[in-house]
Amino acid sequence: MEYITKICIVCGKEFTKRENCPLIKWKKQKFCSHSCYWKNRKGKRVSPKTEFKKGHIPWTKGKKGLTYQNLEGLKEYVKKHGSSFKGRKHSEEAKKLIREKRKLQINSLPSGDKHWNWKGGTSPLRKRIQALGMYRSWRTEVYSRDNYTCKSCSQRGGRLNVDHIKPFYKIIEENNIKTVKQAKNCKELWDITNGRTLCIPCHRQTPTYLVNQYTK
């Protein structure tokens, strides 16, 4: 019965133990309400157990590398001399090289049964093709060509889709594509003239929207 009533250390009001309150939690209880708890916290700084204590020697002292002291020195150097790349931009040739290198990195990722998460080809062929780096590059090229502007309502930016003028499933059927490797070698599939940028409302109004989306 000694834990039935207590006096709040903030307001001095007497309060009782709630029925659903665990006994261990009740032993530590000092406040009658949340408002009293936050009043007690106001203006105080509660330090975490891992906070650096005065007199302790940091483990990075005397070690080489990007430590706090080196970082401060770097900040002072940048303030004094400026960043080496500040005010400069990549040339068009450099941008092209970066894009090509990025494409190679994406396309060199393991796919199919060589991928670490391979489950025997359970995903539909459409999804496997759309997961390719080639497909993402094709979509980006269409966006860039159309200046990220909907070809139907001229809305620029926002949520955009790339629509196939000749439906995706028809290209798959006509070229008899059964595997991802065959899809990579199909030139018609990667022709950017067959793609157009549309916003989602305009894309939904097209007659081929979501047609045969589950075709394998």
pLDDT single digits (tens) 58-68: 777 776 655 55
Task: Give helix 92-107 / helix 133-145 axis angle, nearest 10°.
Answer: 150
- What DSSP element (H or E) covers 79? helix 68-81
Q: Which residue has the higher pLDDT, 59 or 216?
A: 59
Per residue in 25-50, pLDDT tens?
Answer: 777 888 888 888 888 887 776 666 66
What counts of helices (H) and strands (E) characterise the chain?
A: 9, 4
What per-residue confidence (pLDDT) applies to 197? Answer: 93
Quick check: 119 pLDDT over 60?
yes
DSSP letter at 78 equals H
- How far is 171 from 114, CA to CA, in rounded Å? 26
DSSP letter at 130 equals H
